[in-house]
Amino acid sequence: MSVHKDQDEKNFQILIKQLKDENSTFRWRAAEALGRAGDPRATGPLIELLNDPVPDVVWVAANALGAIGDLSAIEGLIISLKDPDRWVRQGACSALGEIGDIRAVQPILALLNDRKNAVRQAAAKSLGALGDQGAIPALTRALEDDDLEVRHAAREAIRKLGGLPPGS
């Protein structure tokens, strides 16, 4: 193993250890760095972090899991869609859209009715990314949302799914 690979491995292990630090700033910074690194070995420890008591840490962990794209994160992220914290729901929703597994479609559909605009917007974007045309009826209803950003995200999602012609 080269010196560079040795150092990379050492840094990876330090970040994994920091996911359990008592300081939440260390936990979220480690999760963020692991997401950027994209190493699938971080998936398990990041899934555990979805249970962190600090919503900001969970949000960063969810985003890191989305960046890594490992399918084993799907179930934990789907559970996080029901979290009372809107940032956690939003992060989990976005991550599921990035990962792109169709198992997330039905749980995300429910978030089109979330009380928080940003969560509804993330749900619409994720549904567009997931590619299931079965989401078009719910997204069509979201075109009537009170929030402009939600309506825009729904329209873009429908377009991605082939339900609207370009430019409409």
What pLDDT was estimated at residue 28? 95
Q: Which domain holds residue 142?
A: 104-168
Within this chain, do residues 44 and 74 fall inside the same structural domain, yes or no?
yes
Could you give the CA distance from residue 70 to residue 41 in angstroms, rounded to a whole number? 9
Structure tokens that stand for 51 in this block? 């249970």
Average pLDDT value for residue range 138-160: 97
Mean of pLDDT over the chain: 94
Radius of gyration of the chain (CA): 17
pLDDT, tens digit, 9 for 90 and up, residues 77-118? 999 999 999 999 999 999 999 999 999 999 999 999 999 999
Could you give the CA distance from residue 135 to residue 61 in angstroms, rounded to a whole number? 26
Could you give the CA distance from residue 139 to residue 8 in angstroms, rounded to a whole number? 44
Within this chain, do residues 110 and 85 fall inside the same structural domain, yes or no?
no
CA distances from 26 to 11, 15, 41, 49, 58 (A): 14, 9, 19, 12, 13
Within this chain, do residues 75 and 147 fall inside the same structural domain, yes or no?
no
| DSSP letter assigned to residue 56 | H
Of the three residues 99, 128, 149, the one that is the final residue of a domain is: 99
Within this chain, do residues 91 and 64 fall inside the same structural domain, yes or no?
yes
pLDDT tier, 2 (very low <50, low <70, confident <90, very high otherwise): low
Of the three residues 58, 73, 99, the one that is the final residue of a domain is: 99
Could you give the CA distance from residue 79 to residue 64 in angstroms, rounded to a whole number? 16
Could you give the CA distance from residue 58 to residue 30 in angstroms, rounded to a whole number? 12
- Residue 167 pLDDT > 70: no
What pLDDT was estimated at residue 5? 76
pLDDT, tens digit, 9 for 90 and up, residues 58-86? 999 999 999 999 999 999 999 999 999 99
Within this chain, do residues 85 and 133 fall inside the same structural domain, yes or no?
no
Within this chain, do residues 130 and 59 fall inside the same structural domain, yes or no?
no
